[in-house]
């Protein structure tokens, strides 16, 4: 028996205490993780090696895939290991790192989705100025700002959250170190600093959401005036996948983080956490590749026999990135 009060780490309750169900969940998560790993690595490789996919849109898509790959790797491998070993224990150091990278990567994902929506706005609404506005230097600065903003957000949440004294049994009713669940372990309800940081992060996410909505309002107003049905279809095929990704990610994450945490393990908590931690990184490669003819052509070229050896392709992608 584990002394839940005296241990330095935390106990993640996960999905079930039934051993057979634990193994089943581990296998499902493993398959999902491998799908996300394969899909995002393919997009990173293709957008790096194919000279036709060097526009800002694919540059940002490559970084979105890097973020997705890292984001799903923060929580899912730990969950798989805990299920297979029948142990939900996570050390304090692991929990700190998990919270930092989870918040940092989630914040960076919201930021990169905002940048991608602005890129589509400029490409469709201001095409004559596109190359001037979205020049390579601007794109690199935008991506650097995305990563720095995410790191700053993760650092703030981690520093404030782990400075709060905890009391009682260190049990987290999630499959990862979830901040709302961890705040329930605080010795008192005086965590004003965490509320202030959460309010700042929520405000920044809301500003990103408003920017995305305004970009697409302008985009659709221009698209609907295009006389060619083929032209409208092409634009919608490019923009609708991005809009779906943004809506799904922000709506599920917002619902989970803005509602008060339950006092016990809830199937709804687990379901919504899967919706924004596992499903978006897995579906993004499928959504962006299946709805984009250039991506499909590049994937067929890379995956065709005799193009290039997997090892050489991987090394070239790494060095060019």
Could you write out the DSSP letters of every residue in 61-114? Answer: HHHHHHHHHHHHHHHHHHHHHHHHHT--EE-HHHHHHHHHHHHHHHHHHHHHHH
Model confidence at 220: pLDDT above 90: no
Model confidence at 226: pLDDT above 90: no
Q: Which of 278, 227, 226 is nearest to 248 (CA)?
A: 278
Name the residue ranges covered by the structural domains of the chain: 12-296
Of 60-64, 85-89, 155-159, 313-317, the range with the lowest mean pLDDT is 313-317
Q: How would residue 115 be classed by pLDDT, with cut points 50, 70 and 90? A: very high
pLDDT of residue 225: 81
Largest CA distance in the chain: 71
Residue 137 to residue 81: CA distance in whole angstroms = 42
What ranges in 187-320 are assigned the alpha helix state H?
192-223, 229-258, 267-277, 279-290, 293-303, 310-320
pLDDT of residue 18: 79
Edge-to-edge strand ranges of the sheet holding 10-12 = 89-90, 10-12, 171-172
Residue 297 CB-density burial (10 A; 0-12 exposed, 13-18 middle, 19+ buried): middle
What's the mean pLDDT in 312-319?
45
Model confidence at 314: pLDDT above 70: no
pLDDT of residue 137: 93
Of 104-108, 170-174, 199-203, 304-308, the range with the lowest mean pLDDT is 304-308
Residue 319 CB-density burial (10 A; 0-12 exposed, 13-18 middle, 19+ buried): exposed
pLDDT of residue 49: 83
pLDDT of residue 311: 46
Residue 234 to residue 153: CA distance in whole angstroms = 36
In Å, what is the CA distance from 225 to each residue of 15, 138, 211, 301? Answer: 50, 29, 22, 35
Query: Do 109 and 71 form a contact (C-beta atoms < 8 A)?
Result: yes
Model confidence at 282: pLDDT above 50: yes
From the CB of residue 285, how many other CB atoms can be counted at a distance below 10 Å?
Answer: 26
In Å, what is the CA distance from 276 to each residue of 75, 121, 272? Answer: 12, 25, 7
Q: How would residue 264 be classed by pLDDT, with cut points 50, 70 and 90? A: low
CATH 3.30.450.20 fits 12-296, yes or no: no
Structure tokens at 63: 């970084």
Between these two residues, 292 and 75, which has the higher pLDDT value?
Answer: 75
Query: Do 288 and 241 form a contact (C-beta atoms < 8 A)?
Result: yes
pLDDT of residue 262: 56
Model confidence at 232: pLDDT above 80: no
Residue 14 to residue 25: CA distance in whole angstroms = 10
Residue 151 to residue 104: CA distance in whole angstroms = 5
Q: What is the mean pLDDT of the chain?
A: 81
Report the SS3 class of residue 162. coil
pTM: 0.85
What's the mean pLDDT in 133-137?
92
pLDDT of residue 266: 64
Reported as a single tens digit per residue, the pLDDT across 15-59 is 777 788 888 988 999 999 999 999 899 889 888 888 888 889 899
Which range of 150-154, 180-184, 209-213, 256-260 scores highest in mean pLDDT? It is 150-154
pLDDT of residue 188: 66
Model confidence at 317: pLDDT above 50: no
- The total number of residues written for the chain in this structure: 321
pLDDT of residue 161: 85
Residues of the chain by 3-state class (helix, strand, coil), percent to 5: 75, 5, 20
């Amino acid at each position: 028996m584990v002394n839940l009060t005296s241990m330095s780490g935390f106990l993640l309750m996960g999905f079930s205490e039934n051993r057979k169900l634990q193994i089943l969940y581990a296998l499902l998560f493993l398959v999902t993780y491998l799908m996300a790993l394969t899909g995002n690595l393919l997009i990173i490789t293709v957008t790096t090696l194919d000279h036709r996919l060097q526009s800002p849109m694919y540059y940002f898509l490559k970084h979105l895939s890097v973020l997705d790959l890292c984001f799903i790797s923060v929580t899912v491998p730990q969950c798989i290991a805990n299920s297979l070993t029948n142990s939900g224990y996570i050390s304090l150091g692991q929990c700190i790192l998990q919270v930092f990278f989870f918040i940092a990567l989630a914040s960076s994902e919201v930021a990169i989705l905002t940048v991608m929506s602005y890129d589509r706005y400029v490409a469709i609404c201001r095409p004559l100025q596109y190359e001037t506005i979205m020049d390579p230097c601007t794109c690199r600065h935008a991506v650097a700002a995305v990563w720095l903003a995410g790191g700053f957000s993760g650092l703030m949440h981690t520093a404030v959250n782990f400075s709060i004294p905890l009391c009682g049994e260190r049990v987290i009713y999630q499959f990862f170190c979830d901040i709302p669940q961890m705040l329930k372990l605080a010795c008192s309800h005086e965590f004003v600093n965490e509320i202030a940081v959460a309010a700042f992060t929520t405000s920044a996410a809301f500003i990103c959401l408003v920017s995305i909505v305004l970009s697409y309002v302008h985009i659709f107003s221009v698209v609907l005036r295009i006389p060619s049905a083929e032209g409208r279809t092409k634009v919608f095929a490019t923009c609708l996948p991005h809009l779906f990704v943004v809506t799904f990610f922000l709506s599920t994450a917002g619902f989970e983080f803005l509602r008060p945490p339950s006092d016990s393990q809830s199937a709804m908590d687990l379901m919504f956490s899967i919706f924004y931690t596992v499903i978006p990184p897995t579906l993004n490669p499928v959504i962006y590749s299946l709805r984009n003819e250039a991506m499909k052509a590049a994937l067929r070229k890379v995956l065709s026999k005799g193009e290039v050896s997997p090892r050489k392709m991987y090394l070239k992608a790494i060095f060019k990135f």
